[in-house]
Structure 1
């Protein structure tokens, strides 16, 4: 993607030009060909004259998600500037991991404070999303929602600014649903927050959630990775049998599990399970070095990290690599639209994904050669299917364009021939399976799957 400036002729006006009339114009590309750029936002002066342009930028190719740089163009001089560069690795002196924002800035991301103008963003910072201010002149960054000792693990979302001194956010933790807060500067330019709205939940639900605890635990063998652990407060104090642990790795693979509230995750914890949500090598929010390190090592490095994050794992929801490579470590698996054979993703709407993630070059004229297929096959879960021993529940969306449903069906038949599989099919659902009915049914099926197998283990 690129950002272009279109200059219309002086005689052209939006109101006075009939529909279909050709208008002469000149175009100028403002961004370089080796960068993919998006989310342009224009800063205006007090006279509503455009003075600066800002945008997000990533190198062309490579992983589908990575550390973002923030760039700007002075519209009066035409000078481009990298305001916030890619951070390869956080340092002890400055633990800022780089920018990992939403795909777009808010429609007007600017705030005026202390005589300066800032861009306000939400960005991943390790395993939580935080609100940051970026000085539009110097690029200096401040974390405005930093977590201090003994404070809840809030994850924040930015919704809008008034382009002046106020903005509105929401925040939540793994055990508390989202509440809405406006942020504003007082007459002394101090940032203040006010809780504007909280969700209405029953007393019983509130009491049940208050029994849960969440923490971020470093995966010592694989720094700087960490896992989010959600469990009952009683789990660590009782001397009886430990709860079954369910490991829930995120997909992507360049995504992140955050401390934001998830109804499905909280509900599973309320069923009595201890949950582990690992942010393995390649997860966003830990620096670009971590993301690049995973390329060419998918299925091995991330599996090792997830294996290391276990907390007495006896049942697990995770990628197919784990149950094939570590057949005796887990007792069950629930998988949602899994990639089974990377070499057979030709029908995907992201055909470059497999090559980029597994360390191969991809260009528009690339072909699937026998050598390429062999490389992708050996790095795919299907290569380990003979070693799968655990019962598998597959959740497959009929309209998935990223990982076409034939992938899951192929795995189903491969396991069925080995008498070890169950499948569930959702009509009209895409990759995320986020339809209301599909979300409910898939969650209940996963819960019942674990409950059935958990009872058999106890018996």
Structure 2
């Protein structure tokens, strides 16, 4: 076992050295040169943390790389932004500061010129608001067009409280005293849930770097949380997203179905400018400031879904938006006969326009890949940017020079650049910016997307899966692991990941299953899973297993494992119960085990209703029908859950759960663990001080290596491939 463990650890360490790309942009452009700035994250195993660094690339106008800087550590930087004129850089930093012999964490905003630090704002000392938001849901950090003001989101300053009785220090009675409420220090303060803990009431903040004044936007309805803010043209208004948080904050992370509006705040007046009963996100203005676009979908239904791309003619002050891209039910034909399956983005890139503001660029999931597009907003002609079978993700645009990330399961992400030609929008000649990093022994691996269509009369009959693993082998020589994704309304794409590469290099064949209900295959496919969880998603995983065994002769039908988290954990639990003779070993991470039991404790109870195709109501009337409806709903939740199959499970099961998981609380995994133990099934549970993704530094390495060892032991793998 020690030899196996050493092999796995050493392989993990070699893959963990590969950095992942966070963001990149074209920061400077002259007649002869351009600069690409990029931010990366790399695991620092010795420090048990993730380290962030930046690299700048200088290129000629022909996109030849002249120089690249050494990586510069920016781990302490939480947010940064450069003014439009390129003269100033604002940086939000977090630092430990000694105070009364104790160390406290404080936030600072630094304003830099090209020569030196100009100003440093101690936000704790100024005490205008709480912590600045740095998350991807609410957070913003935007310079005004004139380079004088900074716009961001922060926690609303709480009213201080103290006990009913507290001896007070002697002080001057005339001294100004901050308002303090007695007896409120233990009052419940709801927040926005999983991975947004402590974020209770975000507000919009403006820092005036000329007058050094920090002000919070007022005249905003108190039942709204604001975020994703940008400056309107001429800096005369603020545009953003407003989410309603009354009567309850429902978890926002991974959920694009929360009721919200695009708002405008101008001259002290707050105004909603998008429709009711919708969920919106990511407002962006065109380069010429004539067009405002955003993403929109209906509030009800799946937690992630196809979106509309909305457009408002800002120059003409037209208040009725039009639709640039509508919800795609199955697929539509676009430019050059390509098929398009809908728009599934969480956000639109900030610099996403051609120089003439006629084309908008974006990326989105399409089947088992990520593709990038150019949309002519005048003709509404949508064009796919041609590339090979790797995933191509648009990042940034400046003067019709486009920056992308290119990646695949066997190729870590790297930067490519090219020039856009509106006469031939599908054709871009790509040049490498960063050097591609080769995965060790990748020549022994292959990945292959496989489409499958059932021969039956179901309304939705197609799904896909990706095989990733050994490219050949003796007959039945390699074990197989089935990996359904979480969500359930998400998808696997052709992207590099550490865990999949580790298992593939150890000789496991992997099936990443995009069962029906996944995004990237049309809205009908997403919606088809509602009311059918534990049924068609399970069926698709079994079908994928059977098809892979037929297609790849080196896979061993007697050595098949299961790995999944969240709804993927729901599925591996289901599969191990419903098909106990087919699947021999299981790794489940924060799995949904009993939907009915989760209904009252998850930060997204509406998810529990949506998966059984029911509407979520926060209150029920007292009439008998409402009571019967509620009773039937809870019973249906229970019947679609893995727990009803627990007594049929034979496979040794490793449970990995997070103590701080608000999405799928730890009690779900504990329930499965105790039932398996009672039935005499070999079971082990790892409990981490982490939340739903189990992705923090020390947790990730323990989780992934334990899973690899569990598969090796229970599939009797004694010889590794790599």
| TM-score of the aligned structures, taking structure 1 as reference length | 0.87
| Residue aligning to 1:145 | 386
Task: State the number of aligned residues.
Answer: 429
C-alpha RMSD over aligned residues: 2.7
Alignment pair present for 1:234 and 2:472: yes
Q: Distance in 2 between matches of 1:26 and 1:377?
A: 48
Structure 1 residue 315, shift from structure 2 partner:
2.2
| Residue aligning to 1:82 | 323
Structure 1 residue 116, shift from structure 2 partner:
5.8
Match of 1:194 among 431, 442, 449: 431
Q: Distance in 1 between matches of 2:207 and 2:489?
A: 44
Deviates more, 1:402-411 or 1:89-98: 89-98
Q: Distance in 1 between matches of 2:466 and 2:207?
A: 55
Structure 1 residue 275, shift from structure 2 partner:
1.0
Q: Distance in 1 between matches of 2:385 and 2:491?
A: 21
Structure 1 residue 175, shift from structure 2 partner:
1.3
Q: Distance in 1 between matches of 2:700 and 2:279?
A: 34
Deviates more, 1:213-222 or 1:128-137: 213-222
Alignment pair present for 1:73 and 2:312: yes
| Residue aligning to 1:111 | 354
What does the per-residue CA deviation read over 1:374-429, in whole Å, with 9 as the maximum and x for residues that have no partner? 11100111111111111111111111111011110111111111111423334321
Residues 560, 582 of structure 2: 8 Å contact kept: no
Alignment pair present for 1:161 and 2:397: yes
Q: Distance in 2 between matches of 1:270 and 1:159?
A: 30
Structure 1 residue 340, shift from structure 2 partner:
0.5
| Residue aligning to 1:170 | 405
Q: Distance in 2 between matches of 1:281 and 1:376?
A: 19
Q: Distance in 1 between matches of 2:212 and 2:433?
A: 45
Residues 580, 648 of structure 2: 8 Å contact kept: yes
| Residue aligning to 2:562 | 317
**Structure 2: unaligned runs, 5 residues or longer:** 1-136, 138-205, 220-266, 456-460, 550-556, 564-571, 622-626
| Residue aligning to 2:445 | 212
Deviates more, 1:177-186 or 1:291-300: 177-186
Structure 1 residue 83, shift from structure 2 partner:
0.7
Q: Distance in 2 between matches of 1:266 and 1:145?
A: 27
Matches within 5 A, 1:245-260: 245-260=480-495
Q: Distance in 2 between matches of 1:394 and 1:226?
A: 27
Indicate how the Cα distance of structure 1 residues 457 and 213 shifts in structure 2: closer, same or farther if over 3 A, else same: closer
The secondary structure found in structure 2 opposite 1:192 is coil
Q: Distance in 2 between matches of 1:109 and 1:90?
A: 24
| Residue aligning to 2:619 | 365
Which structure has the bigger radius of gyration?
Answer: 2
Q: Distance in 2 between matches of 1:72 and 1:402?
A: 34
Indicate how the Cα distance of structure 1 residues 187 and 132 shifts in structure 2: closer, same or farther if over 3 A, else same: closer
Indicate how the Cα distance of structure 1 residues 29 and 453 shifts in structure 2: closer, same or farther if over 3 A, else same: same
The secondary structure found in structure 1 opposite 2:341 is coil
Indicate how the Cα distance of structure 1 residues 437 and 17 shifts in structure 2: closer, same or farther if over 3 A, else same: closer
Alignment pair present for 1:302 and 2:549: no
Q: Distance in 1 between matches of 2:368 and 2:654?
A: 28
Q: Distance in 2 between matches of 1:166 and 1:385?
A: 56
What does the per-residue CA deviation read over 1:246-298, in whole Å, with 9 as the maximum and x for residues that have no partner? 11111100111111111210110111111111111011110001011111101
Q: Distance in 1 between matches of 2:436 and 2:659?
A: 34
Indicate how the Cα distance of structure 1 residues 375 and 187 shifts in structure 2: closer, same or farther if over 3 A, else same: closer
| Residue aligning to 2:291 | 52
The secondary structure found in structure 1 opposite 2:609 is helix
The secondary structure found in structure 2 opposite 1:110 is coil
| Residue aligning to 1:394 | 655
Q: Distance in 2 between matches of 1:445 and 1:199?
A: 30
The secondary structure found in structure 1 opposite 2:380 is coil
The secondary structure found in structure 2 opposite 1:27 is strand
